[in-house]
Structure 1
């Protein structure tokens, strides 16, 4: 029962709505069936499957709203969760920003479900793990990895005529491969909607080469360097930046998108945010698109409003900012929901092409432990990890010790020298990037 069809979902949610006595009721039904396998020290440690189905009921009386959840689906339980949400709504304080639920909507088609992923078996997972473990053993290395896949669905219905349904699949794989003495480390990851695209042997071979190549890393002085950031190295910074894309925080002077008028400007008529202003290199184009062929998402947001292709940064210029229905109404602009994926356009260079064109620089496999330092400038800090290499005259010269960095994606995306072909990472499409003057603030002894 965990994965319900569109008709089954509609029937169940219609039954829930009939129990309602509230002014408005909105129900979200979410289900998941998935499996996983984990290994460490070249040995499978855990394997399992999971399934879940949950109903979330939101009831509203005027400006008061209450939410209750349940995972029991007999008639008595369905009525109970509706009554509970209504009780909570009556106890809740009024929310002056409460907005009405949306009426009936139309949605685009988005291919988020792949039969290949839905048909994955425990044997398939075991074979994929073996394709990673065996070459690691052969090279006298130590592998630790995790593979999981899932089929999920979500359905939304309210008493104003809205109904939305989407079924999706996803598979994630990551592996860390280290030398036996722990002095060398490599990492690789793959993430797809379509299981047939997964190749754990290919990903593991990348991690193996980085592990073997990162032994006896040399220390380099911190400073500003030309860097080549693989997608896993830049996705965290870009994702954090896009999470800060928000019209309200900009209008209220709390973000890097806030407009600071000069002293001689009319404070009353000056814009509140930087919409329409160029803030990045002209090569920077970032958008969201539920219909993207490699990184698709559901064609609706969590409140049931349709999602369509939306530009956030166009040729380096701020093209749109997400907002809420309340803030859109308050400021007299269209409601623009936040996208579910980040698509950054790139170039046609391969990672190898970018290395060949670099006289002196640093190749970074990935960044981790990223933390914010300043929301106004989007300054972040964190560490390189699992393969950092010095490049000289177009070739990887030798491995280097990891760095701590202090950098802002705003500065980073203004210092672009080259962009490569976008790759899917964490449900997004991010290209490898060649960036000048990337700031490394100190060394790290971590591998």
Structure 2
């Protein structure tokens, strides 16, 4: 049994802590039960179930730290892992950025667990695969997909009196559909804490339709185009922008958030004023744990407000150096959207390109947040409010900052990779060359 209750987890961790002789000791206990099914060429290839549990002990003597891990929790095993962590700590050099463990904290009750997701069966997973394979075969399309679900818990206890516990569920689904003639490709992704929100047939149909629509794509000239970005297309660029909201990197002159001559862009307007981005562990669509790996409480936090940088993330160490309060890194990103559906955005576009997703995104210039990558799995030319024909894929060179300053329309929010991101219409998106990949 890999999922322990709060009481069971605390009992095991308290037993381990009782063996500690270190100046400070932190114990993390994690466990998960997960299942998966994979299919390719319209046939299930693998399916499985995993059960894991791990206890990690970090012992400190002054600024020296040692860590040891074990997956057996009898008294002798717990003594052994604590002793090993202490031996390693005594051998380690001092960490000049060591921070004492936090004392007791108060956390909001998380909403990350769904009983329905925890009770997923092998039969359910088989039906997910079948919901892709049967309609794909009927349309002369080949499906390759993966569905994974998990129940897990995380717990933390330290010698300063902190105790934290969270139980959660997750599910992830991706499928690629290829037309049997090899010229068309469609793709879709879904992820939920609550599996009752997931419809495998609906998701698979989107990918099938795109595979059929994208056959025999035509080449058009690279250049600057108005684009409609589906959330799977923009999440990579937005995620990279989010990771730049790091106070230390900005203070040290190593990021886009650094100002020439010193200082940061905190408080400055950097994108269109319609852009509002925040994190919230209690958002019902994208809930997360209400505490992080250091035991810090996570609260709703605004990062970009009316286009201006509202907060930068400060680690405990860097906050102490700067004499400010720590601001924990976000566990999710939520970008405010509008009311327009994807169909509305297409209908209101005279000329443009619909992008299903971007991939193979690579950093070109961290100081300007310039990235390059490729479109994939369904790229279409729009004319007079309708999709006119599929087009060959492009390589792009673009910055999320430039992208969000060229914002035309915000559409409805969609969950993608644990975040909420809207459909977006962007002008002057830069495509630099063609790609023959489907």
Q: How does the TM-score come out when normalised to structure 1?
A: 0.97
**Post-superposition shift, 1:416?**
0.5
**Post-superposition shift, 1:249?**
0.5
**Post-superposition shift, 1:443?**
0.4
Match in the other structure for 1:43: 43
What does the per-residue CA deviation read over 1:93-128, in whole Å, with 9 as the maximum and x for residues that have no partner? Answer: 111111111000000122100001001000011111
Alignment map for 1:143-182 (pairs within 5 Å): 143-182=143-182
Alpha-carbon separation, structure 2, partners of 1:156 and 1:99? 16
Q: Which of 321, 324, 332 in structure 2 is aligned with 1:333?
A: 324
Q: Are 2:301 and 1:296 aligned? A: no
Q: Secondary structure at the match of 1:190?
A: strand
Match in the other structure for 1:356: 347
Match in the other structure for 1:391: 382
Alpha-carbon separation, structure 2, partners of 1:59 and 1:414? 48
Q: Are 2:127 and 1:127 aligned? A: yes
Alignment map for 1:208-227 (pairs within 5 Å): 208-227=208-227
**Post-superposition shift, 1:287?**
0.9
Q: Secondary structure at the match of 2:282?
A: coil
Q: Which of 432, 435, 438 in structure 1 is aligned with 2:426?
A: 435
**Post-superposition shift, 1:181?**
1.7
Alpha-carbon separation, structure 2, partners of 1:17 and 1:314? 44
**Post-superposition shift, 1:190?**
1.0
Give structure 1 regions of 4+ aligned residues with deviation exceeding 6 angstroms: none
Alpha-carbon separation, structure 1, partners of 2:238 and 2:389? 28
Match in the other structure for 1:346: 337
Alignment map for 1:36-435 (pairs within 5 Å): 36-261=36-261, 272-435=263-426
What does the per-residue CA deviation read over 1:342-392, in whole Å, with 9 as the maximum and x for residues that have no partner? Answer: 111111110010011111100000001111111101111110000000000
Match in the other structure for 1:267: none
Q: Secondary structure at the match of 1:413?
A: helix
Alpha-carbon separation, structure 2, partners of 1:68 and 1:408? 41
**Post-superposition shift, 1:163?**
0.3
What does the per-residue CA deviation read over 1:299-350, in whole Å, with 9 as the maximum and x for residues that have no partner? Answer: 0010111000001111111000111111101101110010111111111110
**Post-superposition shift, 1:244?**
1.9
Alpha-carbon separation, structure 2, partners of 1:244 and 1:59? 32
**Post-superposition shift, 1:62?**
0.7
Q: Secondary structure at the match of 1:217?
A: coil
Alpha-carbon separation, structure 1, partners of 2:411 and 2:67? 45
**Post-superposition shift, 1:240?**
1.4
Alpha-carbon separation, structure 2, partners of 1:43 and 1:326? 51
Alpha-carbon separation, structure 2, partners of 1:272 and 1:84? 43
**Post-superposition shift, 1:260?**
1.3
The 10-residue stretch of structure 1 (384-393 or 233-242) with the greater mean CA deviation from structure 2: 233-242
Q: Secondary structure at the match of 1:117?
A: helix
Q: Secondary structure at the match of 1:221?
A: coil
Q: Which consecutive unaligned segments of at least 5 residues does structure 1 have?
A: 262-270
Alpha-carbon separation, structure 2, partners of 1:379 and 1:90? 44
